[in-house]
Structure 1
Amino acid sequence: MLEALKHAKPKIKGAAELSILLTNDEEQHELNQQWRGKDSSTNVLSFPQIEPFGPVVGILGDITLARETLEREATEQDTSLSDHFTHLVVHGFLHILGYDHLTDAEALQMESLETQILAALGIDDPYAD
Structure 2
Amino acid sequence: MQALDVIEEDPRWAGLDLDTLCPRAMRATLAHLSLDADTAEVTVLACDDAHIATLNADFRDKPTPTNVLSWPAEERGAARDGELPLPVTPGFDNMLELGDIAISFDTCHAEAEAAGRPMADHVTHLIVHGLLHLLGYDHERDGDATLMERLEVEILGKLGLDDPYRDDAVQPPA
Contact conserved, 1:22 with 1:64, CA < 8 A, in 2?
Answer: yes
Q: Percent identity?
A: 43
Using the size of structure 2 for normalisation, the TM-score is 0.69
User: 1 or 2, which has the higher strand percentage?
Assistant: 1
State the number of aligned residues: 128
User: 1:63 is paired with a residue of what secondary structure?
Assistant: strand
* Residue 58 of structure 2, aligned match among 29, 34, 37: 34
What residue is the counterpart of 1:9 in the other structure? 34
Larger radius of gyration: 2
1:93, distance to aligned residue in structure 2 (A): 0.1
What residue is the counterpart of 1:128 in the other structure? 166
What residue is the counterpart of 1:72 in the other structure? 110
- Structure 1 position 54 matched with structure 2 position 88: yes
What residue is the counterpart of 1:89 in the other structure? 127
Contact conserved, 1:8 with 1:113, CA < 8 A, in 2?
Answer: no
Structure 2: segments with no counterpart, 5+ residues: 1-25, 77-86, 168-174
Task: State the superposition RMSD in angstroms.
Answer: 1.7
Instruction: Name segments (4+ residues, structure 1) moved above 3 Å.
Output: none
Contact conserved, 2:89 with 2:96, CA < 8 A, in 1?
Answer: no
Structure 1: segments with no counterpart, 5+ residues: none
Contact conserved, 1:51 with 1:98, CA < 8 A, in 2?
Answer: yes
Contact conserved, 2:32 with 2:155, CA < 8 A, in 1?
Answer: yes
1:29, distance to aligned residue in structure 2 (A): 0.1
